[in-house]
A and B are shown apart, each in its own frame.
Chain A
Amino acid sequence: QVQLVESGGGVVQPGGSLRLSCAASGFTFSTYDMNWVRQAPGKGLEWVAVIRFDGGSKYYGDSVKDRFTISRDNSKNTLFLQMNSLRTEDTAVYYCAKAGYCSGGKCAHYYDYWGQGNLVTVSS
C-alpha cells in the first residue's frame, strides 16, 4: 500500500533553516510528480511546491518562492523541502502529497495520497 512518511520538522527561530523529508513506498515513486502542501494552525490548505517526476521542473507558491527548494532522490524514493529564511508565518503542518494521475509524463495535480503531516514551528 502507498505510504508517505514525513520527518524533519520541529522548532526553529525566525531566519533559520529546516529540511523536511518524505519517504515514499508502495508505488513507483520515479513516475509521479510530488508536492508539498501546508496548513497553518486553525487555517486552510495552502499549496507550497511541486516537482516533476524526474526533477526536471519545479514550481512554487508566491509566499515561499526564493526561500524554499523542493528536490527529490528517486534512487531513495524520497522527497525533500529545504526551507530557508523562515518566518513566523511559515508555522504550519507540512504534508507531502502524491499527484493522483500521471500518464505520458504529465500529471493531474490532485492528491490521492498524503503523508501524516509534520509540524514546523517558527518562533523566537
Chain B
Amino acid sequence: DIQMTQSPSTLSASLEDRVTITCRASQSISSSLAWYQQKPGEAPKLLIYKASSLDGGVPSRFSGSGSGTEFTLTISGLQPDDFATYYCQQYNTYPLTFGGGTKVEIK
C-alpha cells in the first residue's frame, strides 16, 4: 500500500500568513494527488486535483505543486474561512490512501 505522510500535523498561523503543507508518498504516484479541506461536522471539500489543478470555485489563494513523491499545498494569504483540516489523497493505485491530515489553527 502507498503511505501518504503529511506534515505538519498541526499548524498555527495568523490571518494573511502564507501557509505550506507537505505530503509525501511512499512511492511515486505521478501527479495523481488531490487536496481536500474539511471543517468540523462537514464533508470534505475538493480543493485541488492532479496535484496542481484548482477545482471550480476554489479561491486562487490555494495552489498545489509537486509530482512523484513530494507535494505541497500553499495558501497565500490565510483567510478566516481557511481554518480547517486539510488532507491529501493519492489516487494512482488501489488501495486509495489519504494523508493523516493537517489542522490549521488560529495563532
Contacts and interface: CB of A to CB of B under 8 A. Distances in A.
Interface of A: 35, 44-47, 50, 59-62, 95, 100-101, 108-112, 114-117
Given A108-B49, A110-B89, A112-B55, A45 B95 contact: no
Contacts of A50: 94, 96
Given A45-B89, A62-B95, A111 B100 contact: no
Which applies to chain A's interface (DSSP): helix, strand, loop or mixed? Answer: strand
Nearest to A4: B43
Given A45-B89, A100-B49, A111 B44 contact: yes
Contact of B96 (A47, A95, A117): A47
Interface in B53-107: 55, 87, 89, 91, 94-101
6 contacts: A44-B100, A45-B89, A100-B49, A110-B50, A112-B55, A116-B43
